[in-house]
Structure 1
Amino acid sequence: MALGVLADALLADPRRGHPVAGFGRAAAALERATWRDSRAAGVRYTALAVGVPVVAAALLQRRAARSPLAETALTAVSTWAVLGGTSLGREADLMARHLQGGDLSAARGRLSHLCARDPSGLGEKELARATVESVAENTGDAVVAPLFWGAVAGVPGLVGYRAVNTLDAMVGYRNERHTNFGWASARLDDVANLLPARLTGLLTVPAARAVGGSPRRAAAVLAADRRVHPSPNAGWCEAAAAGALDVRLGGANTYHGAVETRGTLHAAGREPEVADIGRAVRLSRAVGLGAAALAVIAAGLTGRQGRSG
């Protein structure tokens, strides 16, 4: 797992042939073949789309267990494939450069690489807020959660979590096509992120020092505002980040033509600025390092107990 974390830090996501992109294409083809406007059809779709890669990963891990070198390589490559922290930071930094250069058109065009909200009409400060919020939430989704499930369930945990999270991004939105069909994928993603999101919030509190923030304020905002956000998980990540960065997050956002009010996180904070994007990225990296350390320790202890048993 440590080697996989290092590979993500040095290499980020592969530009071509990414296994997650391949999974996304297969899942899209499966959706076209199985779509029905019903929750039952969505349950079957989710079970198949997640179950097949998890079973395949379990079989590969079982075979690789015969050789320590093969097992190490499989775990490292799987960890690298499912982590997205470095790519997340690079996308946020690119957004900051567009905004610093005054190129709002390029910034709006790049927002889709970070989140699904409608960028048309967004100004500099709205784009900065969207980026900070996306970095905060995706620190949980793209970094902490994969490491958590890798520590808990090995390669099947890594692969299974990324499959669940990818399905949520594809069909979990509440549009006309996916309100029923995507229900199971969205709820499964909520369950899979339940503990990792809370861990992300807790790790953000001490990580506030990495950006000159106050751990005490981060803890206070987390405690006060984590339930203001409509998501059962994103609120933990974003509230803690708002306190750590001392900025005000949340508000009204437009997704696929529908306006959603996300509540106000840290109302006493200032409005995010372009400079806060870089601070959010540094905060995310600090949280990721803490999560990686905990995951490696937990996986090591679990492996040692398994061998002694």
Structure 2
Amino acid sequence: MIGYAVLGGFVLDAIFGDPAWLPHPVVYMGKAISALEKGLRARLPKTPKGELWGGRILAFCLPVGTFALTSLVCTGAAALHPLLGLAVQMFWCGQALAAKGLVQESTNVYRELTKPDLPAARIAVSRIVGRDTQALTAEGVTKAAVETVAENASDGVIAPLLYMLLGGAPLALTYKAINTMDSMVGYKNERYLHFGRAAAKLDDIANYLPSRIAALLWVAAAALTGNDARNAWRIWRRDRRNHASPNSAQTESACAGALNVQLAGPAYYFGEYYPKPTIGDAVRPIEPEDIRRADRMMYAESLLALVLGLLIRGIL
């Protein structure tokens, strides 16, 4: 049943994406994280050790609770009727994937850049990146959008797809809980340096293999879409560690090589300057059309991952 749920979920995401009117599990995960953080901070000592323990409790409770609750719902639905169980799994698998949403948001950036309307493009890209966007040039906006497509191809598409192929919707949503937790508390600033450490480490572990598989699939996708697969492989091997996270530069480096552009580099976050290394070589200037090229490679590698996964599960 898992294979059919994954296939159905993939199709649902490709057609509908994440409609704004439809309640999304990640929203409730975010509310749970905020409530748990507030409760833990109120009850534990306001010391580095106390915050470390608070973060560890959060990093245990949210994924375990997510897996237990979603497994219970899926099992209960299947007990009522196998088709109902399949429908629930399929629906949640679709919500765990973010391919169409990623393309929609990056396309919004592309449209504003090609008008051209730089202020609107800055606003559009601010919806999908964490860096400060108010002073970005058109090149900076384009780079930010391409980097986001490349990075989220891993943690927004390939990683949840791999986890749902292994354990259906419950495991995919457990991964999303880990990822959401990292995006909310996994910062190295004063507030989360200790409290967010466990969440960040757990996210690194959960993404370690998926990010590398995603990078290899990106190289294959570059060949399928007419981009530079050989250079994608070369830059991935050279620059895949050019990031503070052990996983974030995996797909970014493959993307930079495939497009023959330079990504990453210094950026501002919450008004603070971060001197990050660059990824790739500036063989040519980056251009808005690179956003669409990155989207096509993201879709191509997603299809590759789906087909390979279903073949392994014996569905195809």
> What is aligned with 1:39?
52
Amino acid across the alignment from 1:49:
L
Aligned-pair CA distance for 1:253: 1.2
Using the TM superposition, name which of 119-128 and 228-237 deviates more: 228-237
In the alignment, structure 1 segments of 5+ residues that lack a partner are: 302-309
CA–CA distance in structure 1, aligned partners of residues 128 and 160 of structure 2: 18
1-structure distance, mates of 2:188, 2:145:
22
Q: Aligned match of 2:187 in 170, 173, 188?
A: 173
Query: Residue 179 of structure 1 aligns to a residue in which SS?
Result: coil
Taking the TM superposition and a 5 Å limit, the aligned residue runs for 1:96-135 are: 96-135=110-149
2:19 corresponds in structure 1 to 14
After TM superposition, the structure 1 = structure 2 runs for residues 188-227 of structure 1, keeping only pairs within 5 Å, are 188-227=202-241
Alpha-carbon contact 2:93-2:168 (below 8 Å) kept? no
Shift of 1:268: 4.6
Alpha-carbon separation, structure 2, partners of 1:176 and 1:190: 20
**Which residue is 1:57 aligned to?**
70
Structure 2 portions without partners, runs of 5+: 1-5
Contact 2:260–2:281 (CA under 8 A) maintained in structure 1: no
Name which of 280, 285, 309 aligns with 1:266.
Answer: 280
60-69 or 281-290, larger mean C-alpha shift: 60-69
Secondary structure of the residue that 2:265 maps to in structure 1? strand
- Alignment-mate amino acid for residue 129 of structure 1: K
CA RMSD of aligned residues (A): 1.6
Q: Does 1:230 align with 2:244?
A: yes
Question: Identity, % of aligned pairs?
Answer: 37
Tell me by how many angstroms 1:281 deviates.
0.9
CA contact (8 A) 1:253 1:260 kept: yes
Query: Which whole-Å CA distance do the structure 2 matches of 1:131 and 1:237 have between them?
Result: 14
SS of 2:193's equivalent? helix
Distance 1:293 1:261 in 2: 39
Q: Secondary structure at the match of 1:180?
A: coil
Alignment check: 8 A CA contact 1:152 1:299 kept = no
Q: Which moved more, 1:131-140 or 1:242-251?
A: 242-251
Judging changes above 3 Å, is the alpha-carbon distance between structure 1 residues 262 and 297 closer, same or farther for their aligned structure 2 residues? Answer: farther
How many residues of Structure 1 are paired with residues of Structure 2 in the alignment?
Answer: 301
Q: After superposing the two structures, state which structure 1 stretch, 215-224 or 163-172, moved more.
A: 215-224
Partner in structure 2 of residue 29 of structure 1 = 35
Q: Cα distance, 1:108 vs. partner? A: 1.5
TM-score, normalised with respect to structure 2: 0.90
* CA distance in structure 1 between the partners assigned to 2:263 and 2:243 by the alignment: 10
SS in 2 for 1:254: strand
Alpha-carbon shift at residue 88 of structure 1 (Å): 0.5
Deviation at 1:93? 0.3
Q: Deviations over 1:223-270 (max 9, x none)?
A: 111112222011111011111112111210111223223322222532
Contact 2:225 2:300 in 1 (8 A): no
Deviations 1:32-56 (A, max 9, x none): 2223551111011121122211111
- Residue 62 of structure 1 deviates from its aligned partner by 3.0
Asked if residue 277 in structure 1 is aligned to residue 282 in structure 2, the reply is no
SS at structure 1 position matched to 2:278: strand
Q: Which amino acid aligns with 2:162?
A: F
Q: Decide whether the 8 Å contact of 1:211 with 1:245 is kept in 2.
A: no
4+ aligned runs moved over 6 Å, structure 1: none
SS of 2:132 mapped into structure 1: coil
Determine helix, strand or coil for the equivalent of 1:221: helix
2:256 is aligned with 1:242: yes
Deviations 1:9-29 (A, max 9, x none): 000002122221122122212
